[in-house]
Amino acid sequence: MRQYTYGPFGSRRLGLSLGVDILPRHKLCTFNCVYCEIGPTYQVVSPEYRIKAPPSLNFRKELKDILKYVPHLASITLGYNGEPTLNDCLLEFYNIALDVRSELKW
């Protein structure tokens, strides 16, 4: 079972994209948009609200394992379970994704 990644899925804007969820298992967002694809937000928070959920050691391995089998991937999307910028560790996830991309020459 994957802890962080979902997909890949087709996107008209981004092509074939792999999703990376960097938030807790419950939706955490600053809005409650009626058109949100994952449903209503039961915990609406202010834009100043922050969580600190760093990537586990498994994140790099999970990303490498997926990307080895999807060489024609067009993008990686950080998000899903709400607003990814609420996670103070967003840059750590981003940097690991960049490192893996470089290692695999993706």
Does the pLDDT at position 72 exceed 90?
Answer: no
Torsion over CA of 71, 81, 47 and 98, rounded to 10 degrees? -20
pLDDT for 54: 95
Rounded Cα gap, residues 66 and 102, in angstroms: 15
- Tens of pLDDT, residue by residue over 85-95, are 999 999 999 99
Residue 105 has pLDDT above 80, yes or no: no
Among the ranges given (8-12, 55-59, 69-73, 94-98), the one the predictor scored with the smallest mean pLDDT? 69-73
